[in-house]
Structure 1
Amino acid sequence: MRLLRPRPTPPPPSTPGDVLAEAEGLWLRLGGREVLQGVDVTARAGEVLALVGPNGAGKSTLLGALAADLPPAGGTVRILGRPAAEWSTPELALRRAVLPQSATLSFPFAVEEVVRMGRAPWVAVNPDDDDRAVAEAMAATEVTRFAARPFSALSGGERARVALARVLAQRAPLLLLDEPTAALDLKHQELVLRVCRERARAGDAVVVVLHDLGLAAAYAHRVAILHAGRVAADGPPQEVFSGRLLTEVYDQPVEVLPHPRTGALLVTPERNL
């Protein structure tokens, strides 16, 4: 007689400030190269943490480590206070949702079917909850109107929003998003970052890899600036975004200025046109 594995238990609700993921002294190698070197970073409930830095700085690698998808060579990664390796795959799926840089499917699933895949960790506990989560995720990302269209027939930006809807439908308290705005137009870049803030306001921890420093300054509660596999600075954008530091990290002159009307932080490269 085969014993059935017990159904994984969802995590209890988080309170603002709870540490939902953390890396401590993290070292990670890929292809024989040390991509991360002694990195410390913390994702807390109620916050959007942006990972920024130049290409090759280790942003996506750090996100993969926080997702328990990449095993560290040294240091520790904890998810909800427990070493990442100690969680089973079904348990992890109820605790963190991951958006990779690109979304591809080999079969012509309809958009709604793709979003519904995010409900798989809940193994049909309540079909009404599934329907509600899928509908709310599609509405939040503005993909409801093409719910019946094949995913393969969508533009790159539309696919990116559907992929985000799948992550939102998963209803995990830790969201790990890798360049969710890369394929999007101006309107939908703003939409995605507003969704990130809304999820943080609802009590989730959101970790997002961004290349647009202006978006990071506007929407992130905290920013970790990565440079050559290390954290060069970690804190609120108003404290860590300086022209001197960003110029050094990006090897490109950068200006950090207050908006003339609102005083909000503006980050722009210096240009001599």
Structure 2
Amino acid sequence: MRQVRSIRLLRGRPAPPSPAVPGDVLAEAEELRARLGSREVLHGVSVPVRAGEVLALVGPNGAGKSTLLGALAADLPPVAGVVRIHGRPATDWSAPELALRRAVLPQSATLSFPFTVEEVVRMGRAPHATGPAEDDLAVAEAMAAAEVTDFAPRPFSALSGGERARVALARVLAQRAPLVLLDEPTAALDLRHQELVLRLCRERARAGDAVVVVLHDLALAAAYAHRVAILRAGRVAADGPPGVVFTEELLSDVYEQAVEVFPHPRTGAAVVAPRRPS
């Protein structure tokens, strides 16, 4: 009887989406307006998110980066405009269908119960109607990629802030959704693990996923993002390759801080630094 019930539950779950073709728009905001409380934060923002691409959202504090990410995740209902995920309005998808199509990493990860690291990562497999072997493989690969395998049995609550951030990232990777949305994933990390996270973003894009990442570090955005959307006061000030949109004039204006932009001597990627007295 238990086996029959399990089969029925599996049949009742939604099927995962078909693999995307590079360039497919997996999410988009169109003329999006959004509020936080009584304050309108986004004012007519339009941004596409494409398979095979890392899109970095950058801009000063309060520009609307996290709000836009929350709207693209269908976690924040818009006041006006529309968010589409896999070509359909986000509101047309059920919660189980959304969980198969997008994975979200919030700014902070907190848990009230004493879950182990492995149990937290395994939560990413909840949307899937797969067997234990496939789930185990996905969890093991995600923990290895985020370099958290060694403390798999430790309580999540006993970890440092940076370790928690990497475990939360591993949960997102284990979910294996084609749209990956990361809100400041490098904020609590040391230099090595900042680079690790952005390399993983690139790997997911090479595998065909669409990755959106909120970043404050413009050097990381320039080095790893295919596209950058620069937000200012709830609007998109520029959208394009970092080598094109990262100009001294625009960035100095957006951040209200004089900056210098110059090519990296080895890679040619744009390097952004505040202009300081000599």
The two structures have a TM-score, normalised by structure 1, of 0.97
Query: Structure 1 CA distance, aligned partners of 2:186 and 2:79?
Result: 30
SS of structure 2 residue aligned to 1:129: helix
Query: Structure 2 CA distance, aligned partners of 1:31 and 1:76?
Result: 19
- Matching residue of 1:191: 196
- Matching residue of 2:172: 167
Instruction: Return the match for 1:141 from 139, 146, 154.
Output: 146
Paired amino acid for 1:231: V
Q: Does 1:153 align with 2:155?
A: no
Query: Structure 2 CA distance, aligned partners of 1:104 and 1:24?
Result: 32
Q: Does 1:263 align with 2:245?
A: no
Paired amino acid for 1:227: R
Q: Structure 1: which 4+ aligned runs deviate by more than 6 Å? A: none
SS of structure 2 residue aligned to 1:24: strand
Query: Structure 2 CA distance, aligned partners of 1:205 and 1:132?
Result: 22
Query: Structure 1 CA distance, aligned partners of 2:270 and 2:205?
Result: 21
Query: Structure 2 CA distance, aligned partners of 1:164 and 1:110?
Result: 15
SS of structure 2 residue aligned to 1:181: coil
Q: Does 1:60 align with 2:66?
A: yes
Q: Does 1:234 align with 2:239?
A: yes
Paired amino acid for 2:89: P
- Matching residue of 1:35: 41
CA contact (8 A) 2:116 2:154 kept: yes
Identical counterparts, % of pairs: 80
CA contact (8 A) 2:180 2:211 kept: yes
Which deviates more from structure 2 when the two are superposed, residues 257-266 or residues 70-79?
A: 257-266
Matched ranges for 1:90-169 at <5 A? 90-123=96-129, 125-169=130-174
Q: Does 1:81 align with 2:87?
A: yes
Structure 2: runs of 5 or more not aligned = 1-7
Instruction: Return the match for 2:226 from 217, 221, 224.
Output: 221
Q: Does 1:200 align with 2:205?
A: yes
Instruction: Return the match for 1:14 from 20, 33, 37.
Output: 20
Structure 1: runs of 5 or more not aligned = none
Number of equivalenced pairs: 270
Paired amino acid for 1:28: A
Question: How much has 1:264 moved relative to structure 2?
Answer: 2.3
